[in-house]
């Protein structure tokens, strides 16, 4: 598996391609790309059969280790690839350590060990244990074990520890990777730690360089502790870190972020040179019964950035979630019906919203790639930013109503 940057692309934003997959040589995926976030290999609310109704294009499933830990003995006995084990052999797979849709607990650090909070409690992973799992899973790509436990509030001492630990774990994992027959074609993504301290980020990148030839991509780790709050991170705060990391990596390396970044911030990250994302934002949206419907095309107009189907005003609204959307949910069901399903706590409500959100996010990434090709990503950013501001105004108004400062 390899990553190549389109030579016609500028450094940022840029187009690239992932291809030469070991058992799927016919697959080729363009970047910027979004991985399909899963828990235990399943997209929340969406079965593999339903996924085929959403898209027939090749996809990469993002499988968090934290959601697979309890299956490791079964996978060892199964002795096949994780894509087959989870019942989706047509998809490619990427193993990550944490689940970006859930907040990762802070603290509990130990030298050369990373705490993973599984269903059965805390498990301390060292490089040997982690790489043994990766060898059993046989994914197409994976992120090395790291200490990404930093955020904008982290003190310098914690940041220094995160860098030291991440560099040490990377070296240990790479040593095992180099010797592994099973993993010799597997795509390696190394985490860059260092919180919001530019000096620490630079130090981490410099210390990773000796293993650069074994690393095909880098993850800008340690920007947050996952969960829904990522949606509200201000891009101005992360931009200096992202710019420093992107500018100091070899241009032929893939750059990834994880987390439920808002679509507006995704455009800004793409403009800074980030190639790889995930759909954990779709899960966050669906959990709050929201469907994303902002307009992407210049001539398109949308009533809102997102709509919350639990609101009583949708009870007698017989339009689809988004008029003109070709997803299975919009083709067959109305807002009123989905509102009813949510009201009676019927699971199909969340299934239909998730189908639309995933379909829409895949369309959003196609649009981003088209805009890079056509040189008009700024227009898309302006269009999304205008609608995002309206969402924020609505949210502020709702908060004022809740706080009693607006006369209802
Ligand atoms: Zn739809």
pLDDT in tens, the chain (408 residues): 899 998 777 678 999 999 998 889 999 999 999 999 999 999 999 999 999 999 999 999 999 999 999 888 898 899 899 999 999 999 999 999 999 999 998 988 888 899 998 888 899 999 999 999 999 999 999 999 999 999 999 999 999 999 999 999 999 999 999 999 999 999 999 999 999 999 999 999 999 999 999 999 999 999 999 999 999 999 999 999 999 999 999 999 999 999 999 999 999 999 999 999 999 999 999 999 999 999 999 888 888 899 999 999 999 999 999 999 999 999 999 999 999 999 999 999 999 999 999 999 999 999 999 999 999 999 999 999 999 887 777 666 665 655 555 443
Count of domains observed in the chain: 2
Question: CB–CB of 309/339 below 8 Å?
Answer: yes
**Ligand 1 centre from 285 Cα, in Å?**
14
What is the distance in A from the centroid of ligand 1 to the CA of 330? 4
Q: Please tell me the distance between residue 168's alpha carbon and the centre of ligand 1 in angstroms.
A: 45
- CA 359 to ligand 1 centroid distance, Å: 7
Let me know whether 315 and 245 are in one domain: no
Backbone angles phi, psi at 41, to 5 degrees: 85, 0
C-alpha 78 to ligand 1 mean position (Å): 37
Determine the structural domain holding residue 184 and report its residue range: 2-286
The reply to whether 197 sits in an annotated binding site is: no
The three-state secondary structure class of 276 is: strand
Domain annotation covers residue 25 = yes
Predicted pLDDT of residue 10: 63
DSSP character at residue 216: S
**Residue 371, marked binder:** no
Residue 321, Cβ neighbours under 10 Å: how many? Answer: 25
Residues with C-beta atoms within 5 A of ion ligand 1? 325, 327, 330, 356
Q: What is the pLDDT of residue 407?
A: 44
What pTM does this model have?
0.94
**Which residues, other chains included, contact 141 with Cβ-Cβ below 8 Å and sequence gap of 6+?**
1, 60, 92, 93, 94, 95, 186, 187, 188, 189, 216, 217
The verdict on 334 and 207 lying in the same domain is no
Ligand 1 centroid distance, CA of 376 (Å): 25
Contact between 37 and 22 (Cβ < 8 Å): no
Read off the tokens for 304.
């809102």
Structure tokens at 199: 């000096």
Q: Which two tokens mark 321? A: 């979630």
**Do 189 and 244 share a domain, yes or no?**
yes
Same domain (yes/no): 241, 350: no
Token pair belonging to 292: 């994303």
The CATH number that applies at residue 223 is 3.20.20.105
309 alpha carbon – ligand 1 mean position (Å): 13
Distance of CA 231 from the midpoint of ligand 1 (Å): 21
Cis amide bond preceding 13, omega within 30? yes
Distance 370 CA to ligand 1 centre (A): 20
Confidence at residue 73, expressed as pLDDT on a 0 to 100 scale: 87
Is 356 labelled a binding residue? yes
| 174 and 124 belong to one structural domain | yes
Q: Which helix (H) or strand (E) is 106 found in, with range?
A: none
Residue 408 lies in a domain: no
| The pLDDT value given to residue 401 | 57
Burial of 117 (0-12, 13-18, 19+ CB in 10 A): middle
């Amino acid at each position: 598996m390899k990553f190549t940057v389109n030579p016609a692309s500028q450094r940022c934003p840029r187009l690239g391609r992932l291809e030469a997959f070991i058992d799927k040589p016919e697959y080729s995926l363009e970047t910027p790309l979004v991985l399909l976030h899963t828990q235990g290999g399943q997209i929340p609310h969406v079965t593999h059969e339903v996924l085929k109704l959403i898209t027939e294009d090749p996809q990469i499933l993002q499988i968090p280790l934290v959601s697979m830990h309890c299956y490791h003995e079964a996978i060892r006995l199964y002795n096949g690839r994780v894509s087959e084990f989870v019942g989706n052999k047509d998809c490619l797979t990427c193993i990550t350590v944490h689940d970006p849709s859930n907040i990762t607990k802070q603290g509990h650090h130990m030298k050369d060990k990373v705490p993973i909070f599984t269903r059965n409690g805390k498990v301390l992973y060292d490089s040997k244990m982690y790489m043994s799992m990766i060898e059993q899973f046989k994914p197409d790509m994976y992120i090395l074990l790291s200490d990404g436990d930093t955020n904008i509030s982290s003190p310098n001492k914690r940041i220094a520890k995160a860098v030291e630990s991440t560099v040490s774990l990377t070296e240990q994992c790479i040593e095992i990777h180099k010797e592994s027959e099973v993993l010799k074609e597997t795509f390696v993504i190394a985490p860059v730690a260092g919180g919001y301290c530019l000096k620490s980020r630079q130090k981490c990148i410099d210390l990773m360089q000796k293993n650069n030839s074994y690393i095909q991509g880098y993850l800008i780790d340690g920007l947050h502790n996952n969960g829904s709050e990522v949606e509200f991170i201000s891009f101005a705060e992360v931009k200096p870190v992202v710019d420093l990391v992107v500018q100091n990596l070899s241009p032929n390396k893939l750059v990834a972020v994880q987390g439920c970044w808002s679509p507006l911030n995704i455009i800004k990250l793409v403009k800074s040179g980030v190639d790889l994302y995930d759909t954990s934002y779709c899960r966050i949206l669906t959990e709050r019964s929201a469907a994303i419907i902002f307009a992407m095309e210049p001539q398109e107009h949308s009533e809102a950035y997102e709509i919350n189907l639990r609101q009583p005003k949708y009870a007698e609204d017989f339009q689809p979630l988004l008029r003109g959307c070709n997803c299975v949910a919009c083709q067959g069901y109305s807002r009123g019906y989905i509102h009813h399903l949510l009201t009676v706590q019927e699971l199909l409500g969340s299934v239909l919203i998730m189908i639309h959100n995933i379909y829409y996010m895949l369309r959003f990434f196609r649009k981003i790639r088209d805009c890079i090709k056509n040189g008009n990503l700024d227009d898309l950013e302006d269009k999304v930013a205008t609608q995002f501001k309206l969402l924020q105004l609505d949210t502020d108004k709702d908060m004022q109503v809740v706080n009693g400062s607006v006369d209802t």
